[in-house]
Amino acid sequence: MDQLPEDLLADLDVTGVQSLSGGDTAAAYRLNTPDGPLFAKTMLDAPAGVLELEAAGLEALRSAAPPELSVPRVIRVTGQGLVLEWIDESYGAGGSATEAECGSGLAQIHRAEAPHVGGLDPELPQRIGSFPVDLSPTDNWADFLLHRRIEPLLRTAVESGKLDADAQDLLDELAPRAAELAGPVEPPSLLHGDLWAGNRVVDSSGRNWLIDPSSFYGHREYDLAMMLLFGGFGEACFNAYDDVYPLADGWRERVPGTSCRRCWCTRFVSAVATEIRS
């Protein structure tokens, strides 16, 4: 218990703490209380506002999520930690019904009205995850994705030695086709922002939960691309999504899955995603 910030535990009546595995940049804990367990994560050297951004993303997703898709309730957020509702996680794969509920639930989140492309709140820090990015409102998704999201991330990755300088050639190939590859013009959606399989949890009752968002407003195919890039979501998930919020023609070509490893755009996204995760 001494390892956790005092202000994170204040008035929670914590009777015991158990360290949990997982997490690249944060420490995770189970907090035992008389009213049941809670989940805590700490980032003692967190960049300013990162945890507040995560909390805002969780609250936005929770407000938009339908009954079949859950998002943990934020109990407390500080500059160094988060306390969330506990999830009794199942380590077995969910069935087709679980996959379908994930897809239909995500589609309903994406259908909720969003005001613009960009950040959730101008008062929040300008970041996606820990990476600084211009989130000021815009109506041009392709320009946002190319010049505010991919280009700065690529430049940082090259300068830090995490990507070869030849990656710039991929960006040069991408730029003339940005409007085509970024997806057709659609109303913006509330995005999870980091929806790989590890950030979808299935609990012991087979219920889906979304965790660890890097939320902002943008094109919904951004979330689908992340889901396909690393796998872990069944075909029933995508079919149910399409039933609730039909996807535009050609969406699979714009966000190729793991079977398309030779596609230059998949190589590019994979390289950039490696930098995001690091």
- The residues that are catalytic are 194
Length of the chain: 278
Angle, helix 96-111 to helix 50-64, in steps of 10 degrees:
100
Helix axes 264-277, 151-159, angle to 10 degrees: 70
d(CA 119, CA 117): 7
Inter-CA distances, 184 with 114, 142, 170, 189, 247, Å: 17, 9, 22, 13, 10
Q: Specify whether the CB–CB gap between 220 and 192 falls below 8 A.
A: no
Rounded distance, CA 75 to CA 40, Å? 9
**Helix intervals (H) in 77-211:** 96-111, 141-143, 151-159, 167-174, 178-181
